[in-house]
Structure formats: structure tokens, C-alpha cells
Structure 1
């Protein structure tokens, strides 16, 4: 869609007013509700993953059940909203890459990481996605990041190092904490690589909900293929904690939070919506403190502050 401009190249007043309204207007009650839903859903999802990992069902099969449910709901969403569902084979190849990176490999690394770390620390590592997205995008696209973004990246990684330093120092570089950290970093890199694919899809004009639905389907099939390859049985735990965590992850954390975040993007803009990544690790760590006995140290407090500050610098540095 073209934008009509004034002779000096500035947007017409109506366009400028619309941008100001989106970026700078005060929050309305609906915005607070959408923000709260997104933060709560993503904060609690990490503990729900811990419940899945300890259920006796393999990580690959856990992902099959989770995204099979989410896929059906996403296709229903796309269908009822009149979204496009038929695409050429070349687009399906892009959807398959998206699904393998974001809706399978990303989660699989974190599910394995949950066997080594408390859930709150998983969320802190994942919160570096905003930093890695900027750096990876700059590397692939060739755009030189602004000094604020580079500073944010350094501060964010320094915060992660501080949070994990005590346990790594105590257990050595071969300790379980380091293994969990590396797994989560691989999961975050997979997610960020998938984001590049998603951005490319959106630039081609492909609808986000429909492409996500197809991506989830291919991610589910990839997880099923891995489970078959590894000889993992397709079993289902019938405990209340397993079923409850599965429903929460598939329906609330994946589909409802996804819908809330997309709506929030349209209402308040990407810069302010991005601060969700600053907030949810704090709540995730509070959940870990209450339910998993996570012990706060001075290193952890300073490290979390640095991670949050790094995210803020990256998000503000990426504003347009």
C-alpha cells in the first residue's frame, strides 16, 4: 500500500496522527488486559514445560501433542477469520523451514534444557531473543546495528553470565548448568533464525496467522519424525498435571497469547509491545522461587537487571 506524502516528503497529517496514536497514546483497559494475558501466559509457560518434561513422555512426543492441538486451533482461527489457506509449493517450503526452526527445534532445545535448569532461568535465556534478533538480522541483512543496540547486546549477555556464574564456577565447565545454558542458547538461536524466515514471509505479503498455522503443522510433523527416528513411543500421560500443563501450553500459551500479542502490536506498536520480553522473565523467576525453590543471589539480581536493561536498550534502539 502506497503512502501519500506532502511535497517536503513528510507524511500527510492524518498518517502522522495515526502513528502518534499507535505509539504514544495512553494505555486503554483493553491494552492492559492484552498485556497482562501475554505476560502471564508466557511467564507461566516455562513451569508448565517443567511439568511436561517430568511426565514420562519424551520431549519430541510432548511437542507433537502440544502443537497438534495448537495447529487445529490456528487453522480454525485462520478459517473463521477468512484467512488464506492455499499457497504454492514454494511457500510451503518456507512454512516447513519456519515450522522446523520455531515450532519444533526451538522448543525441543528448551524442553531438554528444562532437565538441567529451573524454569525461570529458561525464560531469562530466551529473553535474549530481542538482542540476538537484532544482531542476527544485522549479520544476515548487512545492516550495521546502532551503538545503543550493540551496548544492549553486551549488557544482556553480561547479565546472563552473571546469573549463571556461581553454579558454573562451582561445578566447572562440564556441569549440568552449563549444559542447560548451551541448550537454551541453541533454542534461542533457532527461534531467532525462524524469525528471519517469518519476516521474509511477511515481506512477501503472506498472512501471519495462516503461515503460522502451516508452520505449526510442519513443526508437528517434524517432531513426530524425530520421535519415530529415535524410537520414542507415542504415549500420553493421564495425570492432572500433565493434561493441565498440555492444555495451558497449547491453548493459552501458544494460541491465546499469540493472538493477544498480535492484537497488542496493532494497538500500541512493536516498541512498547516488545517490553513483554523484559517483564515475563521476572514473573517466571518468581514462579520458580515459589514452586521450585529457586534461590536468589546477588549475582542473580544484578544479572537479571542487566538482562532487562540490555533488552530495553535494544528495543528502544530498534524503534522507528
Structure 2
């Protein structure tokens, strides 16, 4: 079950970056985000109500859902949608992979969960692989002002996402159901981003084109309803640090699509980066200390 959830998160969120790119244009970032989560939260709440699965929450729990919605479904996406105007979405996915580090630190701060040594080894390999994968692109960009601004916004968005992870873990430690808390958080995030758009004086009319609307529906149903449900379920089942490690694979999906549709050419650094990322994934989930123990046991009994 964990493997299925993990694959869903990687594949879906790995493809949402292109959908975000398709929404770049005359519609402001807050309005695009509003429509995305207005559709997603409505679908989730209707489904839960129809199935009698929308559970009651206390006032305090609703407050935490509001905080989660502000972190994940408002601030996080506002940063990334805005940053997409200055840096490509593939680079955004690289920066988003820092969630694995933010979650490890925040888990220790808020819950006292000290990650095992293999986590640091895996994260180090994965992040090194991603940097290697995109190193030539970083050099070609020249580290100009727009790039630095895009990187800064993407890092802030990732930090907001990580804080939302901590709140989701708090919900599940209290025995609250993921779908209920996720639905309320998404609704509150929708209202918050709508308030921001109103204050900014944005026009709420979407772009009536096939590419924009299809991207909107994909982001709302697959990228929000399905992927967020799977991800926050993983947070509760295996912890935020391990769940966030899935973000290290997003750039691979993005690069695969770029190869097929945008003519991305794999260089030596890209291949080396791919190997490092897969090796980090193996270290994280193969429990090398357990494997080593088995090998030692076999040698002693041989």
C-alpha cells in the first residue's frame, strides 16, 4: 500500500509542474490557484458528504486546518506559481525536493523525531544527484536576479509545504481522518487565496482556452484531490521525512516529459545525477543496516 501511494505521489506531482507552466499567462497566480482549489475542495467535500464520511472537528482542529490550508494550499502555491514566471518549472521541482530536509528539521523541532543516519545519507545522495542533474542549467542561467528571486520564492514555498506536513502529522496523531482534515484545509486555503486576489484587485475570470482549462482540471483532480490525499496518508503511515523523500524523484518525471515533448538532451551530468538519486532511494528504503546484519549473520552461520 505504501509503495502504491508513493508511486501515485511521484508520478502525479512530477507532472503537475508542466500543468502549472501551461497556466502562465494573463490570469494572475492567486486566481489560478483559487480556481484550482475551489474545484478540488468542492469535489472532495461533496464526495465525503455523499458518502457520510465528512467527520466533525472541534474548533481547535478547524483552526489547525486553517493554518494547514494557509501553509499548503495558499502560501506554498502562491510562491511556486509566481516563481514560474522567472525560472522553469523543472528547476522549481528541484528546489521543492528540499522538503525532505525541511521535514526532517521540523519533525525534530515540533515532535522530537530524530531521523536515522541512513536518512541523511539518502537525502545527501538524492540532493547531490539533483544538483548534478541540473548543474549545467544553473551555469547557463548565470545566476541572474530573476533566477535568484525565483529560487527564493520556491524555497519559501517549500518551507510552507513542510509546515503543512507538520500540521497534517498533528491531525493524524490525534486520530483525525486525512480526507476530512485535507478537505477543510483545502477549503480554507481557497478562501485565503481568494481574499488575497480580492485585495490585489485581480480579475477572477479564467482563461477560456483548452490548455488552461485542461491544466486546471488536472491540477484540481489529480494534483490536488488524489495526490494530496495520497501524500498526507503517507505522512501518517511512514512519517513526514520518508514521505517527503518522494519529492526527490519529481525532477526525473519532469525531465522525462521534457525529453518527450520539449527535446531535453541528457548530458553526462544528467546521467550521473540520475544514478545518485536512484542510489539514494535504495539506501532510504532498503534499510542497509538491516541488510548488513543479515549478511553478517549468514557469514557467521556459514
TM-score in terms of structure 1 length: 0.77
Structure 1 residues 155 and 111: alpha-carbon distance in aligned structure 2, compared to 1, 3 A threshold: same
CA contact (8 A) 1:275 1:312 kept: no
Are 1:64 and 2:64 an aligned pair? Answer: no
More helix by share: 2
Which deviates more, 110-119 or 189-198?
Answer: 110-119
**Residue 79 (structure 1) aligns with:** 49
- Aligned pairs (5 A) from 1:92-131: 92-131=62-101
- The separation in 2 between residues aligned to 1:69 and 1:309, in whole angstroms, is 38
Cα RMSD of the aligned pairs, angstroms, is 3.3
CA contact (8 A) 1:121 1:285 kept: no
CA contact (8 A) 2:249 2:277 kept: no
How many residues were matched structurally?
A: 288
Question: Aligned-pair distance for 1:215?
Answer: 0.3
CA contact (8 A) 1:109 1:184 kept: yes
- The separation in 2 between residues aligned to 1:299 and 1:88, in whole angstroms, is 52
Structure 1 residues 191 and 41: alpha-carbon distance in aligned structure 2, compared to 1, 3 A threshold: same
CA offset digits 1:273-314 (Å, max 9, x no partner): 877545443222111233334343333332344344445544
Structure 2 counterpart SS, 1:117: coil
**Residue 167 (structure 2) aligns with:** 197
- The separation in 1 between residues aligned to 2:131 and 2:106, in whole angstroms, is 20
- Aligned pairs (5 A) from 1:250-261: 250-259=220-229
Are 1:46 and 2:17 an aligned pair? Answer: yes
Structure 2 counterpart SS, 1:53: coil
TM-score in terms of structure 2 length: 0.81
- The separation in 2 between residues aligned to 1:92 and 1:293, in whole angstroms, is 46
Gaps of 5+ in 1: 1-21
- The separation in 1 between residues aligned to 2:70 and 2:207, in whole angstroms, is 25
Question: Aligned-pair distance for 1:214?
Answer: 0.6
Which deviates more, 236-245 or 253-262?
Answer: 253-262
- The separation in 1 between residues aligned to 2:32 and 2:288, in whole angstroms, is 35
**Residue 294 (structure 2) aligns with:** none
- Aligned pairs (5 A) from 1:133-212: 133-212=103-182
Structure 1 residues 309 and 102: alpha-carbon distance in aligned structure 2, compared to 1, 3 A threshold: farther
Structure 1 counterpart SS, 2:171: helix
CA contact (8 A) 2:98 2:158 kept: yes
Gaps of 5+ in 2: 291-302
- Aligned pairs (5 A) from 1:169-318: 169-259=139-229, 270=238, 277=247, 279-314=249-284
CA contact (8 A) 1:120 1:287 kept: no
- The separation in 1 between residues aligned to 2:21 and 2:215, in whole angstroms, is 9
CA offset digits 1:75-119 (Å, max 9, x no partner): 123223322443232211101100011111111222122223333
